[in-house]
Amino acid sequence: MSNAQQYIDIYRQHRDLICRNSAEPMNALRDEAMRVVERDGLPTRKAERWKYTDVPEAFAPDYGLNFGRVPFKAEPADVFRCDVPNLSTLLAFVVNDEPQPSQTFARGFNAFDPATGIFIGSLRQAAMLRPELVARHYGQLADAEGSAVTALNTAFAQDGLFVYVPRNQRLSKPLQVINVLHSGVDMMVNRRVLIVLEEGAEATVLFCDHAMDARNFLATQVVEVQCADNARLDLYELEETHTKCKRFSDLYIQAGRDCTLSHNSITLYNGLTRNTANVALLGERTEVTLNGCVVADKSQHVDNNTLIDHRAPRCTSKELYKYVVDDTAVGAFAGRVLVRPHAQKTASQETNANLCAATTARMYTQPMLEIYADDVKCSHGSTVGVLDESALFYMRQRGIPDDEARLLLKYAFIGQVLDQVRLQPLRERLHYLVEKRFRGELNKCTGCALCN
């Protein structure tokens, strides 16, 4: 029996209900995605890209699924205060997988702006208004054949967030999306995100993941990002959930020529997290930066797996991931940079540095370069170390308590990643949150109901 049999049975029993409460561009891809699940099942540790995370175990419990779209009564704006001081944003909420506007959207949410053509809102709603636009982009990058998580998400997802910025337009402010997990029972949530930037478009998007209830949550997320020539995107993901949350996220980015892209992934509090990033550079002179910051303790598990595919010449990629793992936490990083034969003049730098703050913590690292061109500048490196005892001794000699000295060393270690954040108010806020995290405080923004 397949290790995904329960999901196969659920799909067969509820397919009509799933489709009835979604939209045609999403429904068109479901059956083929589920056929992939039926054929391949869930990946095991024997698969190279999944050897650090036990997927069947994470997906094994029985989770509720809201195919009937029963409304969850929640006022997330009254529960979470995720404001970044001195940063004005367009604020939206996604409760489980359903986008909702906040008061900052005086107009325009779930509608195409008549002046600019920009759309921010429900993927399902966009598919009803402009089915040809959504069908042209939805599911074009997400590889169900290559990922069982993507396949399951494609089969089950009924709604999601759609951000569309037409040619030479830009979002007036950064878009801040608060992803809220909310349920009275254990719940599986399948969230979808589609971001399309046409030629010359610009956007900054910040995702903040939270959980309102102390339930077991399994969240799958598929993010597709399509950037045409000369587009510019800054994408940030901040996870602050709780130890009962399991998060599996597959990110797909495709960029044309002369694009500037940055992706920053920050995991501050979680249960089990697996983030996969697949970036394809299709046009010349595109620059991409991937940064990751992980703080994990107790029995938390964080696995980041990246692929940067250089398919065009004269492109640049930079990658920096840093982990601090403590107690019995497990961290994993696998980063692959692929330079194809015609991608001459490629410049790529990949760095993974890790700090094990306890002898019981575990860190697995696997940086990889696969180069088929002969005129490139590529490097990669990885380190795993412990706190510097000489530095601790030096600080103790100057009256700094041992706990404070350890905190300062961990904070300084992780700060290099935070300094890569381009938005100064967000950068300062992240420094503050990381310090709170190291001090053992709950990792929620001020005013969070779970903190009170």
Over the stretch 131-183, which tens digit does the pLDDT of each residue have?
Answer: 999 999 999 999 888 899 999 999 999 999 999 999 999 998 999 999 999 99
Percent of the chain past pLDDT 90, that is, above it, reads: 77
The whole-chain average pLDDT of the chain stands at 91
pLDDT for res 403: 83
Instruction: Please state which of the ranges 78-87, 96-105, 416-425 shows the lowest mean pLDDT.
Output: 78-87
Neighbouring C-beta atoms of residue 286, cutoff 10 Å: 25
Averaged over 312-318, what is the pLDDT? 97
pLDDT for res 446: 43
**pLDDT tens-place string over residues 225-275:** 999 999 999 999 999 999 999 999 999 999 999 999 999 999 999 999 999
pLDDT of residue 2 exceeding 80 = no
Compute φ and ψ for 411, nearest 5 degrees: -65, -45
Query: Does residue 442 contact residue 450 with C-beta atoms inside 8 Å?
Result: yes
> Any idea which residue has 């982990």 for tokens?
323
Neighbouring C-beta atoms of residue 185, cutoff 10 Å: 9
Residue 83: pLDDT band with limits 50, 70, 90: low
Residues 6+ apart with CB under 8 A from 372: 339, 340, 341
The packing angle between helices 5-20 and 148-156, to 10°, is 30
pTM of the complete model: 0.93
**pLDDT tens-place string over residues 317-327:** 999 999 999 99
Percent of the chain past pLDDT 70, that is, above it, reads: 94
Q: Kindly provide the residue ranges of all beta strands, DSSP E only, lying in 282-391, ordered along the sequence.
A: 287-296, 301-310, 316-325, 330-339, 347-356, 362-371, 377-385
pLDDT for res 390: 81
**pLDDT tens-place string over residues 23-79:** 999 999 999 999 999 999 999 999 989 999 999 999 998 899 999 988 776 666 555
pLDDT of residue 6 exceeding 90 = yes
For residues 451 and 214, what is the distance between their CA atoms, to the nearest angstrom?
12
Query: Does residue 89 contact residue 130 with C-beta atoms inside 8 Å?
Result: no
Beta bridge partners of 347: 316, 377
Q: Which residue has the higher pLDDT, 288 or 402?
A: 288
pLDDT for res 82: 64
Q: Would you call 377 exposed, middle or buried from its count of C-beta atoms within 10 A (0-12, 13-18, 19+)?
A: exposed
Averaged over 363-386, what is the pLDDT? 94
pLDDT for res 445: 45
For residues 253 and 224, what is the distance between their CA atoms, to the nearest angstrom?
6
Q: Which residue has the higher pLDDT, 89 or 316?
A: 316
Query: Which residue, among 348, 292, 357, 366, has the nearest Cα to 322 in the 3D structure?
Result: 292
Q: Which residue has the higher pLDDT, 339 or 387?
A: 339
Query: Which residue, among 313, 271, 309, 269, has the nearest Cα to 290 in the 3D structure?
Result: 309
Query: Does residue 248 contact residue 220 with C-beta atoms inside 8 Å?
Result: yes
Helix or strand or coil: residue 232?
Answer: strand
Averaged over 189-208, what is the pLDDT? 97
For residues 40 and 32, what is the distance between their CA atoms, to the nearest angstrom?
12
Give CA torsion, residues 293, 299, 300, 306, to 10 deg.
80
**pLDDT tens-place string over residues 385-399:** 887 778 877 788 788
Write down the domain spans for the chain. Answer: 5-390
Residues 6+ apart with CB under 8 A from 302: 267, 270, 273, 275, 294, 296, 323, 329, 330, 331, 332
Query: Which residue, among 290, 325, 350, 320, has the nearest Cα to 417 in the 3D structure?
Result: 320
pLDDT for res 451: 42
Query: Does residue 388 contact residue 413 with C-beta atoms inside 8 Å?
Result: no
For residues 235 and 175, what is the distance between their CA atoms, to the nearest angstrom?
10
Supply the DSSP string of 72-125, one letter for each residue.
P---HHHH---PPTT---EEEEEETTEEEE-TT-SS-BTS--TTT--EEEEHHH
pLDDT of residue 334 exceeding 80 = yes
**pLDDT tens-place string over residues 98-132:** 998 776 665 678 899 999 999 999 999 999 999 99
pLDDT of residue 400 exceeding 90 = no
Q: Which two tokens stand for residue 278?
A: 């697949």
Angstrom distances, CA of residue 319 to CA of 9, 74, 119, 350: 40, 38, 31, 5
Compute φ and ψ for 210, nearest 5 degrees: -135, 165
> Any idea which residue has 């069908």 for tokens?
135
